[in-house]
A and B are shown apart, each in its own frame.
Chain A
Amino acid sequence: MTIEDEVRSLQKFRMFHKVESGKLKLLAMISDRVVFQPGEVIYEQDAPSDAVYIVLEGQYKVSLHTAAGTIDFAQHVRGALLGEAGVLCDQRRMVTITAETSVVALRVDREDFLQLLEESQPFNHAVMRELGRQIMDLNNICAQLVQRLPHGAAGVDASVSVAAPH
C-alpha cells in the first residue's frame, strides 16, 4: 500500500470530501501506517493522548472501564477519526479502543495533527464537521436514553466521570 493508495482511501471518506488531494497527501506523508492484529489495543483508556488515528480498514471496539464494570460500545468500521478529542483538549484517553479484525490505520502525531489543522483550512473544517457529527449522534443517544428513564430519576452531571481508573 503506497501513499497514493492511502490518499485514494481517504478521499472516499465523507469527512474528507472537501479536502484537496494535496493536503490529503500531506496528511499521509506525515503519518505512519500502522497495522493492528485482532484483539490488539489501539489505545488504552487514561493513556496520554499522543496521536490521532485514522482508520483505513477493519473493525474496532470502543470500551469504557467504569467502577461498575466495562461498558462496550457498538462496533465501528473504517473511516473514523480516533482520539482527536483527547488531543484537542489535552486530556488523557477517555476510552479504550481494541481492534476486532485486522485494522489498518494512519497514525498522526499530536503535534503534527495540530500543525496540520493550522495549515489547512479544509482539513480543519473536516475535523470540525466530524466533531459536530459526533455531538449530534451523542445528543440523539442521550435523548433516547432519557426517554427510557423512569419519571423523577436523578439528573446527570457532566462533570462526574463514570470512567474508572484502568
Chain B
Amino acid sequence: MYVNFFRYVWQHSRREQIIVLFYVVASLPFYWWSLDVPKRIVNEAIQGSVFSHGQDKALLFHFTLTLPNFLGGYSFDLSDGWMLSQLPYLLALSLLFLVLTLINGWFKYVINIRKGILGERMLRRLRFELFSMVMRFRPEDVRTTKSAEVTSMIKDEVEPIGGFFGEAFITPAFLGTQAITAMAFILVQNMWLGTLALSLIVVQGIVIPHLRREQIRLGRMRQLESRVLAGRIGEMIEAAPALHAYGVTRYSGAEIGQRLGTLFDIRLRLYRRKFAVKYLNNLLAQLTPFIFYTLGGYLALQGRLDIGQLVAVIAAYRDLPTPIKELIDWDQQRNDVTVKYEQVVGAFAKDFLLDNEPEEDPTPVAPDAPITAVGLRVVSGRGLVQIDRMSAAISRPGRIAIVGPAGSGRDILPKVIGRQITDYQGSITLGGHELSSMSDRMASATMLYVSGEPYIMSGTIRDNLVLALRRALPTPEDPKSAFDRYWRDEALKTDNPVVSPDIDWVDYGSLGLSGPHELDAAIIQALRVVDGYDDIFRVGLSSRLGSDLSPDVAERMLNARGAILAHYAELGIADYVESFQPKRFNTNATIGENLLFGVSIGQRFTPENLPYDPFVRSIISAEALSGPLTTIGLKMVETVAEAFQGLAANNPLRERYSFVDDAELNELWPKVESSWQRGQRRQFPAEVRDKLIGYALMYVEPQHRLNLIDDRLVERVLRARRSFRQFLPAQDTGEIEFYDTKKLMPGATIRDNLLFGRIRYGKAHARDRLVAGAAEVLTELGLESFVVSKGLDQEAGPGGRLLSAPQRATVQLARATLRHPDILILDDALSSFGASEAHMIMNNILEAMAGKTVIVTQSNDDDVSAFDQVLTFEGAKLVGTERAAPAAEPADEAVEAADEAAGPAEPMPERANPSQANPTHQEAMK
C-alpha cells in the first residue's frame, strides 16, 4: 500500500479521474458564456447598444469561426443568425442565459455524481485493504491491537478520506480552471479592475492559509485529545466495578474533568481562530466589491467603462471568491486528509505480515509426520523466557499430554504448536514445514487449535458450529441478472471478493460427507461427543414451533402429542404434566395463561402488555377479577420487597420473580403506601392497579406458594376465559392461538406443542424425565433431528452472549470435533466445565479422535495414564518426555484405552486429589 495519499489515489482511480477531468474541461466554455451573456443582456438588449443607430432589428446568434492567419485565415459561417427587434432580442438572450445555467448545472451534477462514485469505490477498496491487512497480522500483533481502535479506524477515520478521494485531483482542476476563467474574464473586461481583483486574491491566498495553519494544528490536537478521552472513558466504564470497590470514583472523575477542561480549552482557541479567519476572509471578499463600486462607478461615470461591463465584472467577481475559497478549503482538507491517511496506513503497517492466502490448495501434510522441536525458545515481549531451549519429537498419531503448573511452558507450547505464537527462536516443524511460516490454508487443513476462550460470532448456533468447515474454495457464480452483474463488476473494480458469502462454503469433501443433507447428522454426532446434544435438544424443545413446517412434519408433530402422553402413561409419569383443558384451571400455569387459554402471537396479548390492553381490562373488571388480582399482586410485591431486600437488581436469585422489576418496585412502593395512608387499603391509582394486576397475572400457585388462589377465583378466571374467547373482536383473532388438542400452535414452543400442558411443580427430576421420555418418542417418529435443527437455529447472540459459558465452550468444542482435524490442540479448552464433566468430555473426544493426534494441556494433578506421550514442564524448562511403552499396534491400543476410559466401567475420577499425586506426603502421614 502506498504511504503517499495521492499516489494511492492515482494508482487505483487514474481512469475515472481522467474522465471526470474531461468533463471539467468540457464545461469551461459554457461557464465563460454564462458570464458573457448577462453583459450582453444589459448592454445590447436593455440599454440597446445594438439598436443605437436607428435600426429596429439586430442580428443575433451570428457565429463565425475564423481560423488564425497561419492556417489561412479562412472564416466559416456556422450560423447566419436571426434579425430580431429589441424585445425578442432580450427574450432570446434571457432564454440563452437560462439554457446556459441549465447546462452548467448539468455539468456540476455529472461531475459531482462521478466524483461521489469514485470516492465510494476508493473507500470500499481502502476499507477492504485495511481489513485484509489486519487479517494478515501475526497472532502476537493481533493480540496487542485494540480492536476498538482498528474498528474506529476502518469505520470512522477513513470516512472523511473517502469523501476526499473524488476531490483529490478533480476539485483543484475544476475550481482552479473556473477561477482562472472568471479571472480571465474580468481581465478581458477591464485590465485595471482585473489586476486589482487579482492582487486581492493573491493576498487572500497567502494570508488565509497562513492563519489557518494554527487552526489545523489545533484541530489535530483536538482529534488526539478526544481520542485519548474516548479511550479513557471506555477503560473506566469497563473498570467501573473495580473503581467502586476501591472507592476511587472521585479520583477518576477528576481525571476526566481535567481532560474535558483541556479539550474545552483547545476547542475554545479553535473557535476563536476559526471565526477570526472567517471575519478576515469576509472582509477581504467584501472589500473588492467596494473598490469595484467606487472605482468602477467612477470609471463608468467618466465613460471609460460601460455599465454592462461593470455589472458583468461584479457578477464574475461574485462567482470568483467561491472557487478561491473552496480551493483554500481543499488545501486545508488535503492537509488534514493526507495526515489522517498516513496515520491510518502507518498504524496498519507492521514489520511482519503473513503471506497472502495461496489460491491453490497446498499439498497436505502426511498424517504421521511428526512434530519436531529443535532448540525451541520463546521469549515474551517483555523479555521473559517462557520456553527455554527445548528439543522434543512428538510422534503422530498419538495422544499427547502437556503437563505443568499454570504459567509454565505448558501454557506456551500448545500456543506455539497451534500457531498462536509465531515469534520464537529455534525451530519447530510439522512434517518438515516450519510452523511459523506455514500458510493458514496449509496449517488449518491439518490442525485446529482450541483455547479456553470460545470465539462465538453472532448468528445461529448452527452457523457457529459450521464456521470451521467453511473453507471450501467455491468458484464465483456467473451473474444471472443485470443486478448480479453490476454487483460483481463493482466488486471487481475495488478488488473486493466476488464470491458471495451466501453460497455454500462448507468443505464437505474433507469431512467425508457427500453433501448438505448429511451435515446435520455430523453435527449431532459432534454434539454427542462433547456432551452438548441434550442441551441443544432442550433448546430445540423450547424454541418456537414456527409456521413453516412441511405438512409431513406437522402431521407427525400432532401424532407425537398423543404418543408422548401415552408413553408417559407407560412410564408412570403421566401426572407430571397438567394438560390444558378448556373447562379446567391449570394450576401449574400462570393466571394470565389460564385467562387467555392460548398463545399470544402479536404484541397485544404478551404477558407484559396484558394488563394494559383495554379489551383484557374490560374482561377482568366484568368478571369482578380486578379486586382479587390486585390483592394477589400486592401480596407478591410485599413478599418480594421483604425477601429481596438488599439484593442487587441483577442478582440471579431474583430470576424467579424477574417480572417484578426492582426499579419499578421502588417507584411503585411509595404510591402503594401513600394510598394506605389515605385509608384506602384497596383503592389504588389506575397505573398502580394495572401494575399489580400484571404481577398477579404472572402468578403460579405451586411455584410462588403464597396460597392466593381459591375456588372463587378459579371460577371467575374460567368465566373470564370463556368471555374472552366469546367477545374477542373479529379483527383481533389473529393475535392469539387458542389451545386446541387437534391443532398445532406455531406461536408456542415445541415443548408446549408436544406436552400440551404445563410440567407440574413439586416433582423432582420431572423435567429431565419428561424430556427423556419425549426424546424417545420423537426418535421413534423421526422428529428428533427436526427438534435439534430448531435448537441449532437459535441465535447465539453477539459474542455468544445468549449462551451460557459452558454452552459457549461446548459449541467451540463441537465445532472442533466436527472438523475432525489430524491434530487437535486443546489448550485449557475444558476449563469452563466442572472436573467430572471435563473428564468425561475429554475421554469422549479422545475416543472420537482415535487414530488422530490430540494434544491436551493437563495440570500436575491430572491423571495422564490415557496418553501416549507426556511432556512435563517445570517453569520454562521441559523436564520430561515420557512415552508409553511401545506396543505392537499402537493405534489399536489407543482405541482400546479410550474405550476403557470413556466406558461406563469408569470409577469416580481420582483427579483433583492431591494425595494421589504426592505419594511421599501420604507415606509421611501414615
A, B in one complex: yes
Binding site for B on A (CB under 8 A): 1-4, 6, 22, 25-26, 28-30, 32-36, 40, 42, 46, 48, 90-92, 105, 107, 111-112, 115-116, 119, 155, 157-159, 161, 163-165
Given A2-B706, A107-B764, residue A90 in contact with residue B836 (CB < 8 A): yes
Question: How far does the Cβ of B201 sit from chain A's closest Cβ, in whole Å?
Answer: 76
- In the complex formed, the residue of A with least CB distance to B702 is A33
Given A90-B835, A91-B835, residue A26 in contact with residue B644 (CB < 8 A): yes
The 3 closest A-B pairs by CB, nearest first: A2-B707, A26-B643, A34-B764
Query: Please, how many angstroms separate the alpha-carbon atoms of A3 and B703 in the complex?
Result: 10
**Contact present for B652 and A25 (CB under 8 Å):** no
**Contact present for B653 and A165 (CB under 8 Å):** no
Q: Does B907 contact A (CB under 8 A)?
A: yes
**Contact present for B705 and A1 (CB under 8 Å):** yes
Contacts of B642 in A (CB 8 A): 22, 25
Query: Please, how many angstroms separate the alpha-carbon atoms of A91 and B915 in the complex?
Result: 17
Question: How far does the Cβ of A29 sit from chain B's closest Cβ, in whole Å?
Answer: 5
**Contact present for A36 and B926 (CB under 8 Å):** no
Query: Please, how many angstroms separate the alpha-carbon atoms of A163 and B834 in the complex?
Result: 20
**Contact present for B705 and A2 (CB under 8 Å):** yes
Binding site for A on B (CB under 8 A): 639, 642-645, 647, 651-653, 656-657, 702-707, 761-764, 834-837, 904-908, 910, 913, 915-916, 922, 926
List 14 A–B pairs whose Cβ atoms lie within 8 Å, in order of A's numbering: A3-B704, A22-B645, A26-B643, A42-B764, A48-B834, A91-B835, A92-B836, A92-B908, A107-B764, A119-B653, A159-B922, A161-B907, A161-B910, A163-B908
Query: Please, how many angstroms separate the alpha-carbon atoms of A164 and B702 in the complex?
Result: 38
Q: What number of residue pairs across chains A and B have CB atoms under 8 A from each other?
A: 86
Tell which of A28, A111, A159 touches B916, judged by Cβ atoms closer than 8 Å: A159
Question: How far does the Cβ of A80 sit from chain B's closest Cβ, in whole Å?
Answer: 16
Given A32-B761, A112-B652, A119-B651, residue A158 in contact with residue B639 (CB < 8 A): no
Query: Please, how many angstroms separate the alpha-carbon atoms of A30 and B643 in the complex?
Result: 10
Contacts of A91 in B (CB 8 A): 835-836, 908
Given A35-B762, A46-B908, residue A115 in contact with residue B705 (CB < 8 A): no
Contacts of A29 in B (CB 8 A): 639, 643, 656-657, 704
For the residues of B in contact with A, the DSSP-based class is loop
Given A34-B764, A35-B763, residue A25 in contact with residue B639 (CB < 8 A): yes
**Contact present for A3 and B705 (CB under 8 Å):** yes
Contacts of B702 in A (CB 8 A): 33
Question: How far does the Cβ of A113 sit from chain B's closest Cβ, in whole Å?
Answer: 10
**Contact present for B705 and A28 (CB under 8 Å):** yes
Contacts of B705 in A (CB 8 A): 1-3, 6, 28, 33
Query: Please, how many angstroms separate the alpha-carbon atoms of A28 and B707 in the complex?
Result: 14
Contacts of A107 in B (CB 8 A): 764
Given A90-B834, A92-B836, A115-B652, residue A159 in contact with residue B764 (CB < 8 A): no
Given A28-B705, A29-B656, A48-B837, residue A34 in contact with residue B763 (CB < 8 A): yes
Tell which of A30, A33, A111, A161 touches B656, judged by Cβ atoms closer than 8 Å: A30
Contacts of B761 in A (CB 8 A): 32-33
Question: How far does the Cβ of A154 sit from chain B's closest Cβ, in whole Å?
Answer: 10
Contacts of A6 in B (CB 8 A): 705
Tell which of A42, A115, A159 touches B653, judged by Cβ atoms closer than 8 Å: A115
**Contact present for A26 and B653 (CB under 8 Å):** yes
Question: How far does the Cβ of A128 sit from chain B's closest Cβ, in whole Å?
Answer: 20
- In the complex formed, the residue of B with least CB distance to A3 is B705
Query: Please, how many angstroms separate the alpha-carbon atoms of A90 and B912 in the complex?
Result: 11
Query: Please, how many angstroms separate the alpha-carbon atoms of A95 and B647 in the complex?
Result: 35
Query: Please, how many angstroms separate the alpha-carbon atoms of A161 and B912 in the complex?
Result: 13
**Contact present for A165 and B639 (CB under 8 Å):** no
Query: Please, how many angstroms separate the alpha-carbon atoms of A32 and B759 in the complex?
Result: 13
- In the complex formed, the residue of A with least CB distance to B707 is A2
Query: Please, how many angstroms separate the alpha-carbon atoms of A90 and B834 in the complex?
Result: 6
Query: Please, how many angstroms separate the alpha-carbon atoms of A115 and B703 in the complex?
Result: 20
Query: Please, how many angstroms separate the alpha-carbon atoms of A119 and B653 in the complex?
Result: 9
Question: How far does the Cβ of A100 sit from chain B's closest Cβ, in whole Å?
Answer: 15
